[in-house]
Amino acid sequence: MAKEWINLVKKELTPEDLLRIIFDYTAKIASERKLNAVLVHMADMGREMILSDRCTVWLIDEPNHQLYTTVAHGVDEIRIPFGTGLVGSAVLSGEPIIIEDAYNDPRHNDENDRKTGYHTKSIITVPFRNNDGEIIGAYQAINKLTAVGYFTARDLELLSLAASYAGKSLESVMLHQEIIDTQREIISTMGEVGEIRSKETGNHVKRVAEYSYVLAIGLGLSASQAELLRTASPMHDIGKVAIPDAVLNKPGKLTEEEYDIIKSHTKIGHQLLRGSKRELLRTASIVAEQHHEKWDGNGYPAGRKGEDIHIFGRITAVADVFDALSAERVYKAAWPIEKIENLFREERGRHFDPAVVDVFFEQLPKLLDIRQRLTDEAE
């Protein structure tokens, strides 16, 4: 049974080796913001510390009752139902599991080996906890590469050490991700509230977000600024929550007074959001206030002109109008693309920032792809 890994017998690590591994990986992990990358670094760190052939870090996904992991950079997540496999039982019981020979152990499921041709012999699974002492995941390593050929109590200690060194960074990255996801969801939902009241569909805000992102990148804004705008732009009409239905959805012509009430959605949105210390909400307040300003100064609410209008406002204006014209509605057909192009040509330097219009034309194929992908029929 001359399996490859048996030929790779390794010497035990010296304390200096161990320290170097710990220093190297904790530095890498501490500077990492992406959860998947942290999982891969943690797994590599564990593998090198205990000289195993393979190592994986699993995390609990409570709402979906799953355990998940990333085994390599750029590889999608792997998910298993909560409580299944050795990892599952270690996480449930909170106790580590060490197996010397998997094929003599009824808990081992050899299905994966049969599929891949890999031979699992020794296994160690160590659950680990967050700062509050709750189990959040587990290390699992397979096949000890030293002459002994199986994992020992010392490996258990080392893996626990790896988990505790990486645990803080892991938790802060998870928290960071959680906050970003939550913010995004809240903003999108709030944005939809404003739009649905004015008969726009939920996909309108999603399309405006994507169009704004493409335009921002095309204008040369940094990826993080473009991302910020993508998240904030769905809130552009949030102020409409405060406009009475009788005005907002009045059939037929509006009186001047009623039109003024509608226009106030910009100021209301701005007031709702401007008090926040969060960059994201402050950005949203700028977009809410300025998405109806016009390059030539004839917009509202302030009649700002040219670059006095924040670039996020100028971009969202193009994205919002493009979507209003190009999407079909119950009450109106979509404009043909030639007619839309004509409008943007005419309004270049009048309603819209000429630079944004130029990027709009450059990126039009991409924008149309987005429209196709986020079409309202798919809702």
Q: Which amino acid is present at 57? A: V
Minimum CB separation from Fe ion for residue 182, in Å? 23
Stretch that binds Fe ion, among 33-41, 68-76, 113-121, 315-323 (CB under 5 A): 315-323
Closer Cβ to Fe ion, 35 or 325, answer by number? 325
DSSP state for residue 64 in the 8-state scheme: T
Stretch that binds Fe ion, among 105-113, 130-138, 215-223, 318-326 (CB under 5 A): 318-326
What residues from 237 to 296 belong to the interface with Fe ion (CB under 5 A)? Answer: 237
DSSP state for residue 291 in the 8-state scheme: T
Closer Cβ to Fe ion, 41 or 207, answer by number? 207
Half-sphere exposure of 211 (CA within 13 A, CB side): 31
Taking alpha carbons only, the member of 215, 216, 272, 210 closest to residue 240 is 272
Minimum CB separation from Fe ion for residue 292, in Å? 6
Stretch that binds Fe ion, among 106-114, 126-134, 319-327, 342-350 (CB under 5 A): 319-327
Closer Cβ to Fe ion, 28 or 197, answer by number? 197
CB atoms within 10 A of CB 378: 8
Minimum CB separation from Fe ion for residue 227, in Å? 20
Residues 9 and 143: beta-carbon distance below 8 Å: no
Give yes or no: 240 in active site. yes
Q: How far is CA 344 from CA 225, 234, 250, 351, 361, in A?
A: 24, 22, 28, 9, 9
Closer Cβ to Fe ion, 44 or 237, answer by number? 237
SS (H, E, C) 88-156: HHHHHHCCCEEECCHHHCCCCCCHHHHHHCCCCCCEEEEEEECCCCCEEEEEEEEEECECCCCCCHHHH
Minimum CB separation from Fe ion for residue 328, in Å? 15
CA–CA distance, 99 with 121 (Å, rounded to integer) = 8
Stretch that binds Fe ion, among 31-39, 109-117, 254-262, 313-321 (CB under 5 A): 313-321
What residues from 208 to 247 belong to the interface with Fe ion (CB under 5 A)? Answer: 237
Closer Cβ to Fe ion, 237 or 347, answer by number? 237
Among 121, 206, 240, 294, which one carries the catalytic annotation?
240
Closer Cβ to Fe ion, 48 or 210, answer by number? 210
From its phi and psi, is residue 167 left (phi > 0), alpha (psi between -120 and 50) or beta? Answer: alpha
Closer Cβ to Fe ion, 32 or 237, answer by number? 237
CA–CA distance, 129 with 375 (Å, rounded to integer) = 44
Minimum CB separation from Fe ion for residue 323, in Å? 7
Angle, CA of 45, 51 and 54, to the nearest 5°: 70
Minimum CB separation from Fe ion for residue 236, in Å? 6
Residues 286 and 310: beta-carbon distance below 8 Å: yes
Minimum CB separation from Fe ion for residue 237, in Å? 4
Residues 163 and 200: beta-carbon distance below 8 Å: no
Which residues have a Cβ under 8 Å from the Cβ of 215 and sit 6 or more positions away? Answer: 315, 318, 319, 356, 359, 360, 363
Which stretches does DSSP call E strand in 1-113?
52-61, 66-69, 78-81, 97-99
> Binding Fe ion by CB under 5 A: which of 289, 320, 347, 353?
320
Residues 233 and 312: beta-carbon distance below 8 Å: yes
Enumerate binding residues for Fe ion (CB under 5 A).
237, 320
Residues with active-site annotation: 240
